[in-house]
């Protein structure tokens, strides 16, 4: 994952924090940030065409359709 500046990340972080329950702890905060970062990285990879077709994943893992 990149450490490059992301436009709007401060506002997104504020919204994420505001959406947490009042009794959230630091682990919950860090988990939500991590999940958000992973989702954004996955979307960026998909947008850039860095994907593997489902049939190829199934073949690599020996799964049947």
Asked if residue 44 lies in contact with residue 27, where contact means CB atoms within 8 angstroms, the answer is no
The pTM score is 0.71
Per-residue pLDDT, 33: 95
pLDDT in tens, 7-63: 899 999 999 999 999 999 999 999 999 999 999 999 999 999 999 999 999 999 999
Per-residue pLDDT, 2: 62
In angstroms, the CA 20 to CA 33 distance is 11
């Amino acid at each position: 994952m990149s450490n490059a500046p992301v436009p709007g990340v401060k506002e997104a972080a504020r919204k994420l924090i505001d959406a947490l329950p009042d009794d959230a702890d630091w682990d919950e905060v860090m988990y939500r940030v991590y999940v958000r970062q992973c989702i954004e990285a996955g979307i960026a990879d998909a947008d850039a065409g860095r994907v593997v077709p489902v049939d190829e994943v199934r073949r690599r893992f020996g799964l049947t359709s």
